[in-house]
Amino acid sequence: MAASHPPTVPQICATFGNDPTRLVDIARQVQETYGHVGPASIDAIGRALRIPRVEVESLVTFYSFLSKQPKGRVVIRLCNDIIDRMHGFDQVLAAFTAELGIGVGQTSSDGITLETTACIGLCDQAPAALVNDVPVTELNSDRARQIVRELRKHMDPKQLVTKLGDGNNAHELVRSMVRNNIRRHSDAEGGDNGAEPRIVLSPHAPPEALRKALSISPAEVIRAIKTSRLRGRGGAGFPTGIKWEFTRAAPGARKVVICNADEGEPGTFKDRVLLTERPDRVFAGMTIAGYAIGAHEGILYLRAEYAYLRPFLEMVLQRRRQAGLLGPDLLGKGKHTFDIRIQMGAGAYVCGEETALITSCEGRRGDPKNRPPFPAQRGYLGLPTTVNNVETLCAVTKIMEEGSATFCEHGSKQSSGTKLLSISGDCLRPGVYEVVFGTPLRRVLAMAGAENAAAVQIGGPSGQMVGRDHYDRTICFDDLATGGAMMVFGPQRNLLEVVHAFLDFFADESCGFCTPCRVGTVQLKRLIEKVMAGRGEPADLETMEQIGRTMKTASRCGLGQTAANPVLSTLKNFRPVYMGLVHTDPDGYRRGFDLEGAVRTSETLTGRASIHV
């Protein structure tokens, strides 16, 4: 007989109406209450929700923030992103392990678990970690040891925050040490303040945009968005107005707006800043989208790493309800009903992909869906759904505030408006920059104090790595398209280490549904390791390119389709780095073959040493 389940599991299930579509929330709460979702809880949840236990297990084993094994009362998750690695990750990790007396993945006898995690959206203040929900930033080995000692005294992560960050980071419902690092061009020497307009980052007065939207018809709202030529800021760049039109036209009385706040692309953190400083603009954008497509429900999908923002965001939603900006009758005009709920993620990069995000909102493991049908036809629970990025929705609000024409004054025909960039790595002024589309990379690097950059990763690991001969290219959809991440690498960095870190990330974050991504990422990682170890041959580079092509063409979703980009773009733009490391054996032997390693077991078993000549 299995052990009895923790006592309140059935109550937790009941809080969510024993509704299987809320399984992510239920599992999160069981995890939070009991430190794990163990076999007995899995059974109990399955019974309460009337679903097979293996469905529950399937979900629990998918998300990084859920676990079948017990964890401590406090979990330290140190970000292992490449940027954190460049800023002292190794030393901080060593300090944590030494002070706790445990390794990664283990729990100390006094209930502190140590883990590493993918990018937590704090590259501009790296190294950083989450202690339960609480971000701690700019760590060093002293601070790490001190954190452990303090935790041992009070086991309360909130007390680790002594100095509050700027803006709403200091709000009583946030109380975080995170800083916004919103930068201006004028921060740079000789910088010119007027040259960089503020659009999505400009101050926001709540009722204005919604009032204007409700004063015209939904079709006119869509027309205004189409006229603005707004394209999605989440990476794919799909025209927002057209997406809305499809969703509006799809049959069905019930439709849904989802705001994608999963922000999982390593090196991206601009959505975190918008959610902290411009939450009303984000929610107004969702509400306008709801009015335009005929939806009454909105979901903000917030990544687990940003859980510290949730109480604040819930308060903003509540305030909007009181002000009539959300609820049964928006602004008392008798025109539209709309409300928003927050869906927490549970640690999975792939859930930023819109169909995986929808699956996750439905309470399932975040496997992407087959397309067609597209979300606009059948999305969340089979309902026509529009998914938009946080920044896209902020732009929507701005377009309503000031009109399409004003918005189009910035940028180019194909790329109107501005783009938020999250800049980190080897630069003097890491942070969030708002630049007009068409700005040359060289100028962006100068703003950030990164003139010395030897390589820049545009758009995060799924984007491309470019070198000095690309710095006159421009940030826009037709040239250097980006979801906003920009990681700067100085001449002292080993690019293959960067590539390896990215592949490690993709291999761990692949959902595992399709062959090319699940197996290809692992194969590419092993090939890079072989090249880095000096065992590579020129033919290995061709194998990498071949696997990369197959992943691009055959993968089921954008994750696998772009997961080979770190390899493909560095092989294209930095080939000499590889050529310096691969050799053909003069005697025709396979350099990758490790003869000593291959015979080691038999040597041990027979007690005899082989002679290698």
Ligand X SMILES: Cc1cc2nc3c(=O)[nH]c(=O)nc-3n(C[C@H](O)[C@H](O)[C@H](O)COP(=O)(O)O)c2cc1C
| Binding partner of 20, given ligand SF4, another protein, ligand X, none, CB within 5-8 angstroms per partner class | none
Q: Are 390 and 274 in contact (CB under 8 A)?
A: yes
Please give the residues from 543 up to 582 whose contact with ligand X meets the rule CB under 6 A.
557-559
Bridge partners, residue 487, by sequence: 424, 457
514 binds ligand SF4 (CB under 6 A): yes
- CB 548 to ligand SF4: min, Å: 13
- CB 352 to ligand SF4: min, Å: 11
Instruction: Give the single-character DSSP code of 374.
Output: P
- CB 388 to ligand X: min, Å: 4
Q: Are 235 and 462 in contact (CB under 8 A)?
A: yes
In the list 209, 358, 557, 567, the residue contacting ligand SF4 (rule: CB under 6 A) is 557
- CB 19 to another protein: min, Å: 19
Kind and range of the H or E run holding 77: strand 74-79
Closer to ligand SF4 by CB, 244 or 502: give it: 502
Neighbours of 469 (CB within 10 A): 8
The residues, ordered by sequence, that sit 6+ positions from 325 with a Cβ below 8 Å of its Cβ are 206, 207, 210, 283, 284, 287, 331
Contacts with ligand SF4, 324-363, as mask; x by CB under 6 A: --------------------------x-------------
For β-strands 74-79 and 112-117, DSSP reports them as parallel
71 binds another protein (CB under 8 A): no
- CB 506 to ligand SF4: min, Å: 8
- CB 368 to another protein: min, Å: 9
The DSSP line for 159-182 is: GG--S--SGGGGSTTT-------B
- Structure tokens belonging to residue 117: 């995690």
Counting other chains too, the contacts that 46-55 makes at CB distance below 8 Å and 24 or more residues apart are 48/9, 48/10, 48/13, 48/14, 48/18, 49/13, 49/18, 49/19, 49/20, 49/23, 50/18, 50/20, 51/20, 51/23, 55/20, 55/23, 55/364
367 binds ligand X (CB under 6 A): no
What order do you get walking across the sheet with 339-344 strand by strand?
339-344, 297-302, 256-261, 385-389
Residue with tokens 């995986």: 356
- CB 509 to ligand SF4: min, Å: 7
Kind and range of the H or E run holding 511: none
Cα distance between residue 113 and residue 100, in whole Å: 9
| Binding partner of 53, given ligand X, another protein, ligand SF4, none, CB within 5-8 angstroms per partner class | another protein
Please give the residues from 435 up to 454 whose contact with ligand SF4 meets the rule CB under 6 A.
none
43 binds another protein (CB under 8 A): yes
Please give the residues from 368 up to 387 whose contact with ligand SF4 meets the rule CB under 6 A.
368
Please give the residues from 251 up to 280 whose contact with ligand X meets the rule CB under 6 A.
260, 262-265
350 binds ligand X (CB under 6 A): yes
Cα distance between residue 92 and residue 449, in whole Å: 26
Interaction site with ligand X (CB under 6 A): 232-236, 238, 260, 262-265, 350, 352-354, 387-389, 392, 557-559
Interaction site with ligand SF4 (CB under 6 A): 350, 368, 510-514, 517-518, 555-557, 559-560
Interaction site with another protein (CB under 8 A): 2, 39, 42-43, 52-55, 57-58, 61-62, 348, 365, 370, 372, 507-516, 518-523, 526-527, 543, 546-547, 549-550, 553-556
